[in-house]
Structure 1
Amino acid sequence: MSATTFEALGTYVFLASRRPAILPPTQRLAAAVLSDVDRTCSRFREDSDLTRANRQAGSWVAVDPLLVAAVRAACSAAEQTGGLVHPLLGRPLVQLGYDRDYDELHVLADQPAGEPTPPGVDSWREIGLDDDGALRVPAGTALDLGATAKAWAADLIAAAIAGETGTGAIVSLGGDIAIAPDADGEDLPPWPIEISTHPGDPAETTVALDGGGLATSSTQVRRWARAGVHLHHVLDPRTGRPADPVWHAVTATGPSATAANTASTASIVLGADAPGWLEAHDVTARLVAADGRVVTTGSWPDEPGSSQAAELLEHPGDDHRAQEVTAR
């Protein structure tokens, strides 16, 4: 395996292939895709298409069709989750202090956060989309694609790699992972992926992925403080406030990185209801509770000390029993 890492969209990009010769053109391809995504979809660029659309909320604005595609993917995530993964959280994020690039948030740490205005769970349905290149943000709201854009971009890169090179590869964009299939249909071993609750920490478990995507959502990574109040970036659209940190992290799999990230983000918002929701939607996932307890759904591999969601649902108040059950 040959791999490379670089930075884009405020995070890291990891690319790997079992054919070293394709890695340089693959990196150039990924960098070009991410440059286009940043130019059109960034909330922190004054010249982005998304910023222009937010400035003229309530009116149709001519934008790059790439932004329309990104917003359509975000609306699909909202549809699938009943609005829990929501693309119109731009205003409450700004009200809570996330009004600039993450690395610059410390500048206003002494100032109190404002009171967020929730967008309404169904307000995303009012977004206007024209695939030829126009967008209407509902008046009084603002787009933020942070809940879906990284995973969607990882899927774009994987599709571009498959189309341009026909060679299998793995793409990780800040932990949102997409697999580019090998066009030759060669029977290659799955990709080993190390999972940890906190980026940079030793791996807690390793899973094998041979296609589709995997994503992790966390309440512990993008955090900031305003006047001593600690906040995180996964907001509950029903309140406009950070979701209760029932889970430190949720890792989910899916047919794409976007699908996996939709499930993991919805789980953070759902809190204690997440295992049941994941089981009902046939999602294989790993949830790490605030107390360190691990809960799994679907066919997630066995881990020492983990609990299978079905057992938790049968014995919701019996924590001791839940810790003793091994995933099956």
Structure 2
Amino acid sequence: MNEALHSIVYKNSQGFVTGHFTAMAGSCEVIIETSDQELAEKVTYAVASEAWRIESTFSRYRSDNIIYRINNADGAPIEVDSETSRLLDFADLCFEVSDGMFDITSGVLGKIWKFDGSSNVPDQRDIDRLLPKIGWDKVTWSKPTLQMPAGMALDFGGIGKEYAVDSAAQLARQITELPILINFGGDIVATAPPISREHWLIGIEPLALGQNTVPPQVALKHGGVATSGDSKRYLVHKGKVLSHVLNPKTGWPVANAPASVTVLSSNCTQAGMLSTLAMLQGADAEDFLRSHEVEHWIQRR
């Protein structure tokens, strides 16, 4: 374990203990309403350890995990463990309900799309070369065996962080019934409302590029909150902001996608799925979320 990266810093304020750490390329925090420092540190360490475990297990940037084995199988069948099976089942569900728009094989597009705020759009010929390597329907998945054509690759980035938050929250609940808020870079779970106030108050990040409207705040008692958006990851092309959410069928950013979609649901995995699927709906994002009758907030430019 890299001690420099895998460290936790604690802060105490007004009856709450907050543990800060880094995981999944972002800042994470665990807030516990307690005066018991030892308990707070036990919970936070369990949460952080779960985040680090899931990151190492499913990161596509490592060469020692199941994702590496799948992506380097060169067309051979791979038998996967039960946890990976659950994520593959969920990815399959997302693919089906989105009519193929949510596709965990589309991560290869990240080789040519760099959403760094610039105007550097890839050449269409480069996009066309990658499109044949995309398509969950080209993968054979029969639990516990997965077989994928050579040259294709899986990426759990679209569901991994939300899954990690829910998994960590489950561990925290096993340790204590005290109110806990877990935040992995904007993917959030509350195990219970605070004792000292009615709810947790979650701010939605305002839009980038000079948007002046004050975004709403989410009053969260329990459940999950997830946000999909382009406040940090976007391109500017022909005067328009291009979202980092890509259409796997065209290889281009989804047309008319909202700048930000935030969804509140019973857990973070569900909220993340709905917020991402709404982004993939483009101009129809609002109608999509209204049809699912979930509390949501959408920001457009």
TM range (shorter): 0.7 to 0.9
Structure 1 120/84 Cα, relative in aligned 2: closer, same or farther at 3 Å? farther
Aligned with residue 81 of structure 1, among 98, 111, 117: 98
CA contact 1:247–1:271 (8 Å) conserved in 2: yes
Cα separation, 1, equivalents of 2:148 and 2:174: 33
Cα separation, 1, equivalents of 2:213 and 2:51: 28
In the alignment, structure 1 residue 197 sits paired with structure 2 residue 206: yes
In the alignment, structure 1 residue 246 sits paired with structure 2 residue 245: no
Q: Number of aligned pairs?
A: 277
Query: Deviation of residue 76 (structure 1)?
Result: 2.8
Aligned with residue 128 of structure 1, among 125, 138, 141: 141
In the alignment, structure 1 residue 96 sits paired with structure 2 residue 113: yes
Query: Deviation of residue 63 (structure 1)?
Result: 4.3
Query: Deviation of residue 248 (structure 1)?
Result: 1.0
Cα separation, 2, equivalents of 1:71 and 1:220: 29
In structure 1, runs of 5+ residues without a counterpart are: 99-104, 291-328
- TM (norm. structure 2) is 0.78
1:145-224 superposed matches below 5 A: 145-181=156-192, 189-198=198-207, 204-223=215-234
SS in 2 for 1:141: coil
CA contact 2:256–2:283 (8 Å) conserved in 1: no
Cα separation, 2, equivalents of 1:287 and 1:130: 37
Higher relative contact order structure (alpha carbons within 8 Å, sequence separation ≥ 6): 2
CA contact 1:84–1:269 (8 Å) conserved in 2: yes
In the alignment, structure 1 residue 266 sits paired with structure 2 residue 277: yes
CA contact 2:67–2:154 (8 Å) conserved in 1: yes
Aligned with residue 53 of structure 2, among 33, 36, 43: 36
Query: Deviation of residue 159 (structure 1)?
Result: 1.0
Query: Deviation of residue 161 (structure 1)?
Result: 0.7
Structure 1 6/72 Cα, relative in aligned 2: closer, same or farther at 3 Å? same
C-alpha distance after superposition, 1:16-45 (max 9, x if no partner): 111243321122112221222122211122
- TM (norm. structure 1) is 0.72
Alignment-derived partner of residue 59 in structure 1: 76
SS in 2 for 1:280: helix
Query: Deviation of residue 6 (structure 1)?
Result: 1.4
CA contact 1:120–1:238 (8 Å) conserved in 2: no
SS in 1 for 2:158: coil
C-alpha distance after superposition, 1:168-217 (max 9, x if no partner): 311111111112248xx989732111112349x99622221112211110
Cα separation, 2, equivalents of 1:171 and 1:89: 29
CA contact 2:46–2:168 (8 Å) conserved in 1: yes
Aligned with residue 234 of structure 1, among 230, 241, 245: 245
Cα separation, 2, equivalents of 1:207 and 1:50: 35
Cα separation, 1, equivalents of 2:120 and 2:296: 38
Moved beyond 4 Å, runs of 4+:
109-113, 119-122, 185-188, 229-232
Query: Deviation of residue 138 (structure 1)?
Result: 4.6
SS in 2 for 1:73: helix
In structure 2, runs of 5+ residues without a counterpart are: 1-15
Query: Deviation of residue 77 (structure 1)?
Result: 2.6
Counterpart of 2:204, as a letter, is I
Structure 1 282/58 Cα, relative in aligned 2: closer, same or farther at 3 Å? farther
Counterpart of 1:238, as a letter, is K
Cα separation, 2, equivalents of 1:79 and 1:110: 32
Aligned with residue 9 of structure 1, among 21, 24, 44: 24
CA contact 2:165–2:189 (8 Å) conserved in 1: yes
Cα separation, 1, equivalents of 2:241 and 2:289: 28
